[in-house]
Chain A
Amino acid sequence: MNGTPIISAKNLTKKFGNFVANDNLNFDVYEGEIFGFIGANGAGKTTAVRILCGLSFPTSGAIKIAGFDVYKQTEKIKKQIGYMSQKFSLYDDLTVYENIRFYAKIYGMKTKEIKTKTEDLLNELNFAHARDKKIRDIPLGWKQKLAFSTAIFHNPKIVFLDEPTGGVDPITRRQFWDLIYKASDKGITIFVTTHYMDEAEYCDRVSIMDQGKIVALDTPVNLMKEYHSRNMDDVFIKIAR
């Protein structure tokens, strides 16, 4: 990897009282990468993502996102990123189009552009017929694909995905990853957390977290070599035990 990192975290630490959720995390993410944050539930993945998105302040550490400081320039960071949270976050009582339009307008996109882009998007997803359906009436897999498409609708530099595929079937997960690759092809940097180890193999590089610490950081292939494993599942079990 070369060039300047688009995300750079040095000694990122977050404490809640005595509990250390993120313990001295150090990592860089480069432009165009698909960077995976792997770990069990409660390993501190979501805490770290929330800090990188400017939703929560770190206790200490130097963190820069797209060149902006997470302490002082959170609002500038927010213009550059997209975010899809673990908690499903489209409005249930709004239609597919109303949701897309709402967020796109908040990001300052023009109404005309929103209209044509929505049409293209829904055609590409084969979902044009559901344009005026309320979110609550569509299946979970579709909701997640839409949430992802909404998160990158305004063409952010980076998109943060916090366990985007929780609770969906393997086929839908595979389709979801196709969307991630498409976004990556367009040059969007992907930062994704997951506890599915097969998904870890889809990433360019992964960092494995355990109890608030990063215990390994490399490409999946290198990690599998290092730990003499045939898949990431084995790697994870060997590391985290």
Chain B
Amino acid sequence: MRTILTIIQKEFIQIFRNKTMLPIIFIVPVVQLLVLVYAANLEMKSIDLVVIDNDISSVSSKLISKFKGSPFFKVRSSISLKDAENEMKKEDADVIMLIPQNFEKKLITENASEIQLLFNAINGTTASISNVYCRMIISGFNQDIILNSGNLYPELATFETINIENSYWYNPKLDYKIYMSSGILVILVTVISMFLSGINLVREKEIGTIEQINVTPIKKYHFIIGKLIPFLIIALFELAFGLVIAKLVFSLPILGSLWLLFGVAAIFLITTLGLGLFMSTIAQTQQQVMFIAFFFMLVFILMSGIFTPTESMPDWAQKVNYINPIAWFMRVIRMILLKGSGFAQIKKEILILTVYGISVLSMAVWRYRKTS
């Protein structure tokens, strides 16, 4: 125990003496939260819609004004499809809406009519979101016509329309920033913990002090745990700091217990810190550790469900995610913060994270060699 405390004491002295460390600890969370949450926003605010109105009727202009009234669209008109296509090629148009001739006439005589929508699907996600928005507006317009046509077809007007009321649980305003900032918190602690622990041990190899440690009768697990605890404390501090920023800037709700959150975070961090230490027992230089850590982090983070729900990933990806600690912690942190889930609801996740923590840490202790 005393040996572990000795190492912790030494690490803390070194960390606080390191002039590049403190800025990293304080600036990284601010930048990540403020920049990434705004930048990684999937909400579509200004979809560029180019309208070619070949009908120029009262119905077509009503439809266009519906789009103009929506906050999601920036509407411009164009004379020919060719011009519109050119704009799309220049990335100036996201959607082209073509209203054919006789649009109004067909609607009255045949009781149905058509329009054409063309989407710029370079980014499939934006295209499908634009599609959904367009459909919402057009179907609303449709309903207006049916209701207004009551004077023409009285029997239609007596239909009761079904009114769908949506209510979005746990994020009632569908605020994307809440979803994102909770995910960014996970990235924050993952990056900090993995890099700091990974670089720290291998640095002792580079400067040669590890030899002096290895020639002492220190126990392997003392050394690894002594290296792990200082960074665990720093990462938990980072989480607290990040939570405060997210709460102040994005009004991130904190519905569940903070004790539970930090408890699970500590278990999760044992895995990432352990991985960092494990990598640095194998690597010889800081660059090597950076490369390996970067590779793992990129894969794990993108698969973790920070941007896209893991449920919509292909089967094999969901299976891979079983061994992705970040995915599990991502779930848990959102459950605790946004839903207020308690221990009973996240038992499974805690159990899995604990198993990872213990196995990764034992791997690091096992792989650390005092004698080569």
Binding site for B on A (CB under 8 A): 53-57, 74-76, 78-79, 81, 83, 85, 87-94, 98, 102-103, 105-108
List residues of chain B with CB within 8 A of the CB of A56.
371-372
List residues of chain B with CB within 8 A of the CB of A108.
2-3
Instruction: Report whether B211 and A89 are in contact in the complex, using a CB–CB cutoff of 8 Å.
Output: yes
Considering the complex, give the chain A residue whose CB is closest to the CB of B204: A91
List residues of chain B with CB within 8 A of the CB of A88.
208
Instruction: Report whether A107 and B18 are in contact in the complex, using a CB–CB cutoff of 8 Å.
Output: no
Q: How far is the CA of A190 from the CA of B315 in the complex (A)?
A: 65
Instruction: Report whether B208 and A81 are in contact in the complex, using a CB–CB cutoff of 8 Å.
Output: no
Q: Can you spell out 23 A-B residue pairs with CB atoms less than 8 angstroms apart?
A: A54-B215, A54-B370, A55-B211, A55-B371, A57-B371, A57-B372, A75-B217, A75-B370, A78-B215, A85-B208, A85-B212, A88-B208, A89-B207, A89-B208, A89-B211, A89-B212, A90-B209, A91-B209, A93-B13, A93-B17, A103-B212, A106-B3, A107-B217
Considering the complex, give the chain A residue whose CB is closest to the CB of B14: A93
Count of chain B residues near A, Cβ 8 A: 23
List residues of chain B with CB within 8 A of the CB of A102.
6, 9-10
Instruction: Give 5 nearest A-B pairs by CB, closest first.
Output: A87-B208, A89-B212, A83-B215, A105-B6, A78-B217
Instruction: Report whether B14 and A94 are in contact in the complex, using a CB–CB cutoff of 8 Å.
Output: yes
Q: How far is the CA of A92 from the CA of B14 in the complex (A)?
A: 10
Considering the complex, give the chain A residue whose CB is closest to the CB of B6: A105
List residues of chain A with CB within 8 A of the CB of B3.
105-106, 108
Q: How far is the CA of A88 from the CA of B6 in the complex (A)?
A: 21
Is B313 close to A, CB under 8 A? Answer: no
Knowing A78-B217, A83-B212, say if A98 contacts B10 (CB, 8 Å).
Answer: yes
A69 CB, nearest partner CB in chain B, Å:
13
Instruction: Report whether B2 and A105 are in contact in the complex, using a CB–CB cutoff of 8 Å.
Output: yes
Knowing A83-B215, A93-B14, A107-B217, say if A74 contacts B371 (CB, 8 Å).
Answer: yes
Is B163 close to A, CB under 8 A? Answer: no
Within 8 A of A (CB), among B268-297: none
List residues of chain A with CB within 8 A of the CB of B208.
85, 87-89
Instruction: Report whether B14 and A91 are in contact in the complex, using a CB–CB cutoff of 8 Å.
Output: yes
List residues of chain A with CB within 8 A of the CB of B9.
102
Is B142 close to A, CB under 8 A? Answer: no
B219 CB, nearest partner CB in chain A, Å:
8
Is B125 close to A, CB under 8 A? Answer: no
Is B116 close to A, CB under 8 A? Answer: no
Is B218 close to A, CB under 8 A? Answer: yes
Considering the complex, give the chain A residue whose CB is closest to the CB of B212: A89
Q: How far is the CA of A57 from the CA of B217 in the complex (A)?
A: 16
List residues of chain A with CB within 8 A of the CB of B215.
53-55, 78, 81, 83
Q: How far is the CA of A55 from the CA of B13 in the complex (A)?
A: 27
B334 CB, nearest partner CB in chain A, Å:
40
B201 CB, nearest partner CB in chain A, Å:
14
Q: How would residues 208 to 246 of chain B score, 1 for a CB under 8 Å from any chain A CB and 0 otherwise? A: 110111111110000000000000000000000000000
List residues of chain B with CB within 8 A of the CB of A103.
212, 216
Q: How would residues 1 to 38 of chain B score, 1 for a CB under 8 Å from any chain A CB and 0 otherwise? A: 01100100110011001100000000000000000000
